[in-house]
Amino acid sequence: MTAISQGPAAMRPGAEDPPHIRRTTDGAARLNMMVEGVHCGGCVARIERALRAMPAVRAARVNLSTRRLAVTWDDSRAGPAEIMAAVEGLGYRAMPFDPELLAGRHQAQEKALLRAMAVAGFAAGNVMLLSVSVWAGYSGEMGVATRGLFHWLSALIALPAIAYAGQPFFASAIQALAAGRTNMDVPITLAILLATGMSLIETASGGHYVYFDSAVTLLFFLLVGRYLDSRARGRARAAAENLLGLAASSVTVLDPDGTQRVCDPAAVAPGAVVLVPAGQRIGVDGTVIEGASDVDSSLVTGESLPAAIGPGTAVFAGTLNLTATLRVRAAATGEDTLLAEIARLMEAAEQGRARFVALADRVARLYAPAVHSLAAITFLIWFFLVGAPWQQALLYAVAVLIITCPCALGLAVPAVQVIASGRLFRQGILLKSATALERLAQIDTIAFDKTGTLTLGRPALRRDRAVDDEALRAAASIAAASSHPLARALVAAAPPIPVAANVIETPGAGLAWAGPAGGTYLGSRAWCGVAAEDGSTDDGPELWFVRPGMAPVRFAFEDAPRPDAAAVVARLRSSGLRLLLLSGDRPDAVRALAERLGIADWRAGMAPGQKVARLEELAAEGRHVLMVGDGLNDAPSLAVAHVSLSPSSAAEISQNAADIVFQGDRLAPVAEALAVAGRAALLVRQNLALALLYNIVTVPLAMLGHVTPLVAAVAMSSSSLVVMGNALRLAGRNRPAGAGG
C-alpha cells in the first residue's frame, strides 16, 4: 500500500511503476489489486458499480474466487490513489495483488473457519444435551437450583463459543456498518446477538427457559456454509495459479553481439532471440528459427504425443522442449502469451461459476432473519395484543426459536452430499466442489474431449493388420534406447528383448543403428527414405523400420478408446443427453473416433479459446453442459462448463479445474456420477420439502402457544432424523451405470 499512498503524481509516466500497475500505449493504466472483505456477489457489484461511476475508469472487474480487482482507467485523469480510495471508502481493504500472499491468507481463513466450526459444533452438541435435560424436568422433578445451574452451564459453554466462532460474521458486519453499508453478515450478527442476549437476561433473572442451543446451532450451520464456499473459491484460485506455474521461471536471451543473458520471460522484448535447451519449458510465444526437436504441445492441442518441430514452426509459452536445443524468435511475452490467455479464460469462467454457492448457505442466509422475526412477532402479539405476562410471551417466542432451529434445513443438503460423496468415492469418483452434484443433476448436454478422455491417452501398436514378429523384436530392441512415446509403445507390444547398443537418436526424426549388414533405421517415413508408394499411407502415428536387403516395415499406432466407451456413450445417448466431441486433434482422427462411438456432433482442430467459445454458445442456448476432458488445453473449458469432470490421469491443472475426478481406464464413472447426481437432487428436494412442511405445520402451532419448549425440542430432533433417514436411501440404491441423471 505504500506505493499507492504516495498519490497520483508518483504514478505518472516517467515514474517507476510497481509490478501491479501496467501502462498501455493509448494512455491507459491497468491496475491489479487484491481486495479483502468480498464475500458475495453483492460485494462484487458494489465495488464495480462504484468504480465504473468514476469518469476516468474505463473498465472494472472483481473476481470473487481470486479476490482480484482489475481496473483500467485514463491515466491522464486519475491516479491509483483515487482508484484505491474509492474501494477503501466502501469499507474494503485493498493491497497489491500477490498470489503467494493471497494463498497464505486464504489458507489462514479456511483454518480459522474450520476451528470456528469445530468450536460451534462442540458447543451446540453439549448445550443441546443440557437443554434437553432442562426441558425434561419441566414436570417438577428438577428443582429451581438445578435448572438454574444447567442454564448457567449452558451459558458458560455457549457464550465463549459464540464469541469465538462468530468472529467471521461479527468482524464483517462491523466493517460494513463502519462504512455505512450492510451485507449479509449484519442480520446474521444481529440474530445471534439478540438470541444470546435474551437468553443471558433470562438466565440471570432466574427464568425457566433459555435458548443458547438455538443460537449456537444456528451459528454452526452458517459456518458450515461459509467454509464450503471458501473451499470452492480456494480451488478456483489454485487452478489458475497452478496453470501460471507452467510458465518458465527464466529464459536465456541471445543478444545481437552473441552474448547470452538470463532474464524474466516478461522482460523479453518481441523480436528477441531466445535459446531453449532440451528439457526446458519455452518461455515465450514465437517462431523457431534454428534447430529441430520434439515438443510436448499438449497445452495447446491436448495431444499427448510430442510434435516434431523445426524452423518456421510456431511455439507457445508453457510447452516443453524435449530433445534438442532450439532458437526461438519471440512474438509475444508475459501477459500477451497464450498461456496467460488460458489463465485469464479460467479466471473469467470461475467468476461466472462462483454464483453457485452451497444451497445450505443460501437457505441459512434467508432463514436466520425469518426465524428471529417470527419469534419477535410472537412475543409482540402475546405481550401487547393478548396481554400475557412478558415471561409467558417470551416462553412462546423461545418455543418458536427452538422449533424453527434450522437443523432439518441445514441437514437437507449436506446429508445427501455426504452419502452421495461416499458412494461415489467407493467407485473411484471424487467430488471436488460443494455444488458439483447440484449442477450435475441439471445436465442435458455432454461435451467430450478426445485424447485421454474417450481414449486412453497413450499410443498402442495397432493389431488390425499382420505384424512380423521378427521385425517387431528387431525394431523394439532399437526402440528400447529411446524415451519417445511411440518407441515405448513399440517396446510394450514386443516380447522382452535386449537393448541394442550404440543407437543414435536424431531429435524429431528417428533412431539409427549400425548393424553387421549395414545401417538400420527406425523413424519417420521421410527420415527413413521410404517412398510414398511403398506401403500404406493411412493417416495416423507411424514408425518405419528399414533394414539392408529387406522391405520397409510400417508400424501403425492408435490411441485406443476406453474399453467401455462405446457402451457408455450409447447409454448416455439413449437417456436423452446431447453428446458432442470437441478435440484439438486432426480431423481424420476425430472423425474416425466419432463414427466408431456414434457421436454425430464433432469438431476437430479446436484451440482452447474455441472450445470455451463453443461451450458459451451452448450456454447461451440454455444448455447445461458437462465438460469431460483431461488435457492442459481443456482447463479453461472445464472451468467455463456448467460442471466438469476429469480422469485421474489428467494433467494436474485440469484436475484442479474440474469439479469431479474419476479413476481407472473405464468411462462408466461418467454415467454413474450422472445417475447419483440425479438421485441426490431428488432426495434434496424431498428433504427440503419435508423440512419446510415441518416448519409450516409446527411454527403456527408454536406461535399460538400450543407447543412447549420440550415438545419443540423433540419435534426439531425428529425432523432432523427424518431428513437423515431419507438421505440414507441413496446409500443402498444401485442403479445401472448408464442411467442418466
CB 341 within 8 A of CB 666: no
pLDDT in tens, 347-381: 554 444 433 334 444 554 555 567 667 878 988 99
What fold is seen in the domain 2-97?
Alpha-Beta Plaits (3.30.70)
Of residues 449, 559, 630, 659, which has the active-site annotation? 449
Predicted confidence at residue 581, as pLDDT, reads 94
- Residues carrying CATH 3.40.50.1000, the chain: 417-456+562-681
Predicted confidence at residue 71, as pLDDT, reads 84
Please name the residue that has the C-alpha cell 414436570: 139
pLDDT band at 533 (very low <50, low <70, confident <90, very high): low
Q: Does residue 442 carry a pLDDT above 60? A: yes
The segment with the largest mean pLDDT, out of 105-119, 330-344, 526-540, is: 105-119
CB 633 within 8 A of CB 653: no
Contacts of 104 (CB under 8 A, 6+ apart): none
Q: Does residue 313 carry a pLDDT above 80? A: yes
pLDDT in tens, 698-709: 888 888 888 755
pLDDT in tens, 520-532: 999 988 888 887 6
DSSP 263-283: E-GGGPPTT-EEEE-TTSB--
Predicted confidence at residue 479, as pLDDT, reads 92
C-alpha–C-alpha distance, residues 101 and 117, integer Å: 24
pLDDT band at 413 (very low <50, low <70, confident <90, very high): low
The segment with the largest mean pLDDT, out of 79-83, 297-301, 470-474, is: 470-474
pTM for the complete prediction?
0.55
pLDDT in tens, 551-586: 899 998 888 888 899 999 999 999 999 999 998 888
C-alpha–C-alpha distance, residues 131 and 151, integer Å: 8
DSSP 212-231: HHHHHHHHHHHHHHHHHHHH
- Residues carrying CATH 3.30.70.100, the chain: 2-97
3-state secondary structure 673-687: HHHHHHHHHHHHHHH
CB 542 within 8 A of CB 557: yes
C-alpha dihedral sign at 337, 338, 339, 340: positive
For residues 491-514, average pLDDT = 87
- Residues carrying CATH 2.70.150.10, the chain: 251-336
> What CATH homologous superfamily does 460-558 map to?
Calcium-transporting ATPase, cytoplasmic domain N (3.40.1110.10)
For residues 30-45, average pLDDT = 71
Does 472 or 56 have the greater pLDDT score? Answer: 472
Predicted confidence at residue 15, as pLDDT, reads 41
C-alpha cell recorded at residue 362:
443460501
CB 251 within 8 A of CB 283: yes
pLDDT in tens, 43-84: 777 788 888 888 888 888 776 656 778 788 887 777 777 888
Provide the 10 A C-beta neighbour count for residue 225: 23
C-alpha dihedral sign at 165, 166, 167, 168: positive
Please name the residue that has the C-alpha cell 462491523: 174
pLDDT in tens, 255-295: 888 888 888 787 788 899 999 998 888 888 899 999 988 88
pLDDT in tens, 177-198: 777 766 667 656 766 777 788 7
- Residues carrying CATH 3.40.1110.10, the chain: 460-558
Which stretch of 29-38, 51-60, 366-375, 617-626 has the lowest confidence by average pLDDT? 366-375
By DSSP bridging, strand 68-74 and strand 57-62 are: antiparallel
Predicted confidence at residue 171, as pLDDT, reads 85
Please report which helix (H) or strand (E) contains residue 515, including its range. Answer: strand 510-515
Predicted confidence at residue 620, as pLDDT, reads 92
For residues 621-627, average pLDDT = 94
C-alpha–C-alpha distance, residues 144 and 608, integer Å: 72
For residues 542-546, average pLDDT = 91
Predicted confidence at residue 316, as pLDDT, reads 85
CATH architecture of residue range(s) 417-456+562-681: 3-Layer(aba) Sandwich (3.40)
C-alpha dihedral sign at 299, 302, 305, 308: negative
What fold is seen in the domain 251-336?
2.70.150
C-alpha–C-alpha distance, residues 252 and 734, integer Å: 58
Q: Would you give the end-to-end CA distance of the chain in angstroms?
A: 50
The segment with the largest mean pLDDT, out of 182-191, 199-208, 610-619, is: 610-619
What is the percentage of the chain residues whose pLDDT exceeds 70? 72
pLDDT in tens, 637-672: 888 899 999 887 655 555 567 888 887 788 999 999
Q: Does residue 432 carry a pLDDT above 50? A: yes
Active-site residue, 213 included: no
Mean pLDDT of the chain: 77
In terms of phi and psi (left: phi > 0; alpha: psi -120 to 50; beta: otherwise), the region of 318 is left
C-alpha–C-alpha distance, residues 363 and 689, integer Å: 13
Helices and strands of the chain, counted as H and E runs: 24, 27
pLDDT band at 14 (very low <50, low <70, confident <90, very high): very low
Does 97 or 71 have the greater pLDDT score? Answer: 71
Predicted confidence at residue 157, as pLDDT, reads 93
For residues 624-642, average pLDDT = 84
DSSP state of 13: B
CA 539 → CA 536, 556, 588, distances in Å?
Answer: 9, 9, 7
Predicted confidence at residue 151, as pLDDT, reads 83
Please report which helix (H) or strand (E) contains residue 419, including its range. Answer: helix 407-426
pLDDT in tens, 375-409: 789 889 999 999 887 767 866 776 676 676 555 66
Predicted confidence at residue 141, as pLDDT, reads 61
For residues 504-518, average pLDDT = 85
Predicted confidence at residue 357, as pLDDT, reads 39
Does 716 or 476 have the greater pLDDT score? Answer: 476
DSSP state of 465: S
C-alpha cell recorded at residue 474:
528387431
Predicted confidence at residue 12, as pLDDT, reads 37
User: What is the CB-side half-sphere exposure of residue 616 using CA atoms within 13 A?
Assistant: 15
The segment with the largest mean pLDDT, out of 15-19, 360-364, 517-521, 599-603, is: 599-603
